Amino acid sequence: MRARAGASRRWKRERMLKKTEGYWGAKKRHIRRMKEALMKSGKYAYFDRKKRKPNIRMLWITRINAAARMMGVRYSDFIAALKAANIQLNRKELAEMAFSDLEGFGRLVELVKKNIKQPA
């Protein structure tokens, strides 16, 4: 009698079933469709992890720009003035400050306003 992949095949299927929980139709029921769906979802997950970083940075910049405009300063002028004043806060910290502590952000804007170059 030849050996067949009984138990290991069942375990493999159970592992795949656990990963495809929530999928609909054939993607949940048929092994081949499960494999295809898992490979595709893995590919999307990989690329979206890479896309998350610039998206979060864009969100920070948007928040800083909105708060700076409320104080009467453009984002680019504000960042340039921060560099000129030698204030080393990164965009994540600035965005958090702009989002949760608008008063403190306003004081920071007032502090760097003298370093903003006026257009000629």
**8-51: per-residue pLDDT in tens?**
888 988 999 999 999 999 998 899 999 999 999 999 999 999 99
As given in the structure block, the two tokens for residue 113 are: 């306003």
* Topology of the domain comprising 6-115: c-terminal domain of poly(a) binding protein (1.10.1900)
Kindly report, residue by residue over 67-87, the tens digit of the pLDDT. Answer: 999 999 999 999 999 998 898
pLDDT digits over 57-68, tens only?
A: 999 999 999 999
Phi and psi, residue 2, nearest 5°: -85, 155
How is the chain split into domains, by residue range? Answer: 6-115
Q: Could you write out the three-class secondary structure of the chain? A: CCCCCHHHHHHHHHHHHHHCCCCCCHHHHCHHHHHHHHHHHHHHHHHHHHHHHHHHHHHHHHHHHHHHHHCCCCHHHHHHHHHHCCCCCCHHHHHHHHHHCHHHHHHHHHHHHHHCCCCC
Q: Are 57 and 68 in contact (CB under 8 A)?
A: no
**C-alpha–C-alpha distance, residues 107 and 24, integer Å:** 53
pLDDT at position 114: 81
